[in-house]
Amino acid sequence: MTTDITKTTDLAASDNASRVTALRWLAAVGGVATIASTFMSWTYTSEFPGDLTVYGYPGGLQVLTLVAGLVIVLFSLASLGIKGLGWLAPTGTTKALQLLALGAFGTTWFTVIAIAVELGGVINLEPGGYVAAVTSAIPVVAAFMLPDDTRKAQRPKELPSWAEILIVVAAFAVGMYVITYGIDTEYAELFTGYLIAVGFGVAALFKAGLVARLSGLTTKYRQVTLIAAFVAAAAFPFTQNTDTYTLIAVNILIFATVALGLNIVVGLAGLLDLGYVAFLGVGAYTAALVSGSTASAFDVHFPFWAAVLTGAAVSLIFGVVIGAPTLRLRGDYLAIVTLGFGEIFRIAMGNLDGVSGPQITNGPNGIPNIPDLEFFGYNFGESHTIAGIELGSYANYYLLMLLAMVLVVLVFSRAGSSRIGRAWVAIREDETAATAMGINGFRVKLIAFALGATLAGLAGTVQAHVQHTVVPEMYQFAGPVPPNSAFLLAAVILGGMGTISGPLLGATLLYMIPAKLQFLQDYQLLGFGIALILLMRFRPEGLIANRRAQLEYHETDQLDVPEKGLPDSGVGIAKAGA
């Protein structure tokens, strides 16, 4: 009797293993078929952007489907145990395959639907479009029929130091290429497909455990990581032929730098500041008034370094003046007061026009004609040739803003791990308990407020010269174009409070999406509101969260206890057999 049960169990297990293997091969075949479909014509007219009419040469959105299909094939082979591909999925392949399959399916079907909608019906699809739509569904069906193989990541095989460093450098090179590809997209359809493919792709890498493994390497080789990140970012302007997309990159850096400064106030100290963009405006207006603008009320022209220091110093003063009487408040009361400060600043800049107040800022007209920066004879408004490559004016400002961001990241990291940084975290977690332990809550919060204001003012001085003008409408609580207070706060929450890379990623997404998808500008607040709701539901700690936040928001996962069979019951035996 026992022998028969054993044979039956072994046969069932063998059949199940064969079914799983067949499904994995089906996913791989579906990925290959998806790749093949991109070499066919999807439409007969070139009116749809990207020229999807050519046989044998993928173009436009077809390239995204091709890459997604290729990654599906790699992970399918990894799930089959192909030697050398196991490192792709340290924690399992099923969930990663599901996400990758959805990414390829979503990108392909978005393209097919866009062709039908924009060109007036499915009649505009060539056979290749139908083939792509069908083949992209095959990996989805196969992946969602696979059993979950999530496991705990094993310690990876020790590699030589040069190989691990090479992996870190390659990861940053690929990441920079992906970001550059997104910034350089020429039309909204391609950028939308890019968001779908990259969004599901990155989520798949997280589920597979590959990102965690790379994070371990970057922690191990911290200096190499910092150098690789800086070099990858600095290489961006050298890949551009015009300043069109470099201007977007400059504004992203400005937005990200200000968001990182706000992260000190909100992420570390836990102070809800709804008027933070006003400090950016203080730095910008200060730089505009002292940099020799023809519309300035002061006949002065400070050199670059002096204008930057002046803008940062004035923002620091405003931070202390505003923070001293208000930081004794907490929670919603503090948020309302900071919101009022932001609105007071904008209205005051509009009233200093010589009619409602002194003639300082030209009121609603702002301060135009701000000259380009000049540093030791290097004019940032002129093109310069470096290593045989001509860099435009916005490329100069990009590199300058990159150095400013490095400074802000250094300040944030040093402050966060210092004694004052630990005091900020204590205040954020429980101000009453922190005060009882001897921390001067008011002084600690004032330092955070002042430091955040200084960093925002520093970014504002560069922004004034990049935009060549400052007007009050640029510094609203919520407006059509970031940076504004609502978008800055959303960038910190979306990316992950208390981290360095989180706000940088959040700011990049929140600036790049409206810049690329112009048709969404009237609905972007609605879209971001929906995105934040979904984020709070599924990933409240943000896209990139620190370990503390993950434990806090997912503490129930840490308390899960494996089920055990009850005495004299078949539960444990059934689970063991399964």
- Nearest Cα neighbor of 200 from 95, 91, 129, 115 is 95
Least confident of 46-50, 106-110, 120-124, 539-543: 539-543
Q: Which has more pLDDT, 453 or 570?
A: 453
Measured in Å, how far apart are the chain's first and last C-alpha atoms? 20
Q: What share of the chain has pLDDT > 70, as a percent?
A: 89
pLDDT tops 80 at residue 551: no
pLDDT (0 to 100) of residue 84 = 74
On whether the CB atoms of residues 85 and 50 are closer than 8 A, the answer is: no
The overall average pLDDT reported for the chain is 82
pLDDT tops 70 at residue 560: no
Show Cβ contacts of residue 327 under 8 Å, excluding neighbours closer than 6 positions.
271, 334, 442, 445, 446, 449
Rounded to 10°, the helix 441-467/304-326 angle is 140
Considering 341-345, 412-416, 493-497, the range whose residues carry the highest mean pLDDT is 341-345
Conformation bin of residue 363: beta by default, left when phi > 0, alpha when psi is -120 to 50: left
pLDDT (0 to 100) of residue 71 = 93
pLDDT tens-digit series, residues 137-170: 999 999 998 888 888 877 777 778 888 889 888 8
pLDDT (0 to 100) of residue 50 = 82
- Nearest Cα neighbor of 110 from 195, 26, 184 is 195
pLDDT tops 90 at residue 187: no
pLDDT (0 to 100) of residue 97 = 92
Q: Rounded CA gap, 61 and 64, in Å?
A: 5
pLDDT tops 50 at residue 569: no
pLDDT tens-digit series, residues 64-97: 999 999 999 999 998 888 877 778 888 888 899 9
Q: Rounded CA gap, 541 and 545, in Å?
A: 6
pLDDT tens-digit series, residues 242-273: 777 888 888 888 888 888 888 888 888 888 88
pLDDT (0 to 100) of residue 104 = 94
Residue ranges of alpha helices (H) inside 327-440 are: 331-351, 393-416, 419-429, 431-436
pLDDT tens-digit series, residues 365-405: 888 888 887 777 777 777 777 767 777 778 888 888 888 88
pLDDT tops 70 at residue 125: yes
Q: Rounded CA gap, 225 and 221, in Å?
A: 6
pLDDT tens-digit series, residues 484-532: 788 888 888 888 887 888 888 888 888 888 777 776 666 767 777 787 7
On whether the CB atoms of residues 176 and 232 are closer than 8 A, the answer is: yes
572 pLDDT tier (thresholds 50, 70, 90)? very low
